Structures are given as C-alpha cells and as structure tokens.
C-alpha cells in the first residue's frame, strides 16, 4: 500500500509538467513567420534601386485582406515591372486574419505597410 501511494504521488508531481503551457513572445512568432517567406526571389535590374514601398492594406470586418494602393517610385516600376504581382502573391500566403474589434463590434481597419527595397 505504501508503494502504491508513493507511485501515485510521484505520478501526480511528474504530470504537472504535462500541463505547463509555453508563452511565446512576439519576436518568436515573427521569426517563425519570416522563415515561411521565399527569400530566394531573384530580381535582375540594370540600375541600383533603393526605395521605400508603401502598401496600403484594408482588412474588412469579415477579416478579408485587400490591397488598396501600392506607392512606388517611377524608377522602381521601370526596373521591376512585376513588383506588384510579387507583393500580391506574398500577401496571399499570410495566415488567416481576424477583423479589429471596437465596442464589441467587428470593424474595418486600414493600415500602411512600408517595405524597404534595396537592389544592387
């Protein structure tokens, strides 16, 4: 009987680690998401391109992502004409988005995503 109580106590203390949950910080989540991007997209240009691209995004109250506008420099458009399609494809691979909530209602949200482009 003593052994049974000892075994039960041992199992109960050992099982406490089973229910522990790991907390993830935002940097860990960001690093995991960055691993999913395809960083081997080869872009060939004839001139050096250095630009900050502003993508205006709209998340509807249903959680659907739309690109409102892409602001780029004329040189960037000339050197990389397929840049818009590359950006659209990369945003399609994002995980499911949830709409913003204000006063217990799902609302539409607009925000800007700056992308720094530097191609030699």
- Inter-residue contact 94 to 113 (CB < 8 Å): no
* CA-wise closest residue to 118 among 84, 87, 80: 80
Residues 6+ apart with CB under 8 A from 12: none
Q: Is the pTM of this model over 0.75?
A: no
Q: Which two tokens stand for residue 77?
A: 């458009």
Report domain extents, the chain: 2-119
Q: What is the mean pLDDT of residues 97-113?
A: 89
pLDDT for res 63: 85
36-55 tens-digit pLDDT: 766 667 777 788 888 899 99
């Amino acid at each position: 009987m003593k052994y049974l109580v000892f075994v039960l106590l041992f199992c109960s203390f050992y099982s406490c680690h089973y229910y522990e949950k790991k907390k993830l910080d935002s940097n860990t989540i960001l690093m995991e998401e960055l691993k999913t991007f395809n960083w081997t997209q080869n872009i060939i240009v004839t001139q050096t391109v250095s630009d900050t691209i502003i993508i205006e995004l709209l998340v509807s109250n249903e959680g659907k992502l739309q690109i409102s506008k892409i602001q780029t420099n004329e040189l960037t458009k000339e050197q990389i004409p397929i840049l818009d399609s590359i950006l659209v494809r990369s945003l399609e691979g994002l995980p499911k988005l949830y709409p913003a909530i204000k006063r217990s209602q799902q609302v539409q949200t607009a925000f800007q995503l700056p992308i720094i482009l530097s191609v030699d």
